[in-house]
Amino acid sequence: MLTLPHLRRRETGLQLAAVPGIPENEAVLNEVDRQIRWYDSNARRTMQLHFRLRTVQIVLAATIPITQIPSSAIGWRLAAGVFGAVIAVCQGFDAMHHYSDHYVAWRATCQQLLRERQLFAAGAGAYQGMEPSSSEALRQLATRATEIEAQEQQKWAADQMKALAPVRK
């Protein structure tokens, strides 16, 4: 199969640099890296889905008035109806799955975890004066990464409760 360079699908995952002095099989750092990659890949995936659905909606919405120029043809009216239905389905999927909300939340969590990893690797912030390979620094990294993820989960749970709450007048 012939693939042109500008048409290749980009699957560039997040590249995380090794932390000097930390073995490759260090469980805490591997878990933080796994979390970072999960949040990064899911943020990218939901952003792509959101923007693809929105692009389809915009293109079809712009096409509907054009289909009504030759208004006497039933095929054009049928096309306008189908385009409207596809727009509604796209909007429904986007609203139902909250792609844009998930993208923002997951990207923010990914960035917080990345920042924490960078502080850990540099021995800065809460890790100042600690060797990255020390059990104290690794324990601190595990605690702080867990707190970041817990904040994201608490926000998700609060959003779910808000969505389920009855509408008050």
Which pLDDT does position 110 carry in this prediction?
Answer: 97
Mean pLDDT by 10 residues, the chain (169 residues): 43 81 93 96 96 97 91 86 96 92 94 96 94 93 96 87 68
Domain count of the fold of the chain? 1
> Per the domain annotation, does 82 fall within a domain?
yes
> Per the domain annotation, does 1 fall within a domain?
no
> Per the domain annotation, does 7 fall within a domain?
no
> Per the domain annotation, does 115 fall within a domain?
yes
**Count of other CB atoms within 10 angstroms of residue 96:** 8
Which pLDDT does position 22 carry in this prediction?
Answer: 92
Q: Which two tokens stand for residue 1?
A: 């199969």
> Per the domain annotation, does 100 fall within a domain?
yes
pTM score of the predicted model: 0.81
Which pLDDT does position 6 carry in this prediction?
Answer: 41
Q: Which pLDDT tens digit goes with each residue over 7-26?
A: 444 455 788 999 988 999 99
Question: Containing domain of residue 139, as a range?
Answer: 24-154
Instruction: Collect all residues with Cβ–Cβ distance below 8 Å to 132 and sequence separation of at least 6.
Output: 19, 20, 21, 22, 120, 121, 123, 138
Helices (H) and strands (E) in the chain, counts: 4, 0
> Per the domain annotation, does 166 fall within a domain?
no
Which pLDDT does position 69 carry in this prediction?
Answer: 86
> Per the domain annotation, does 19 fall within a domain?
no
> Per the domain annotation, does 60 fall within a domain?
yes
Which pLDDT does position 169 carry in this prediction?
Answer: 52
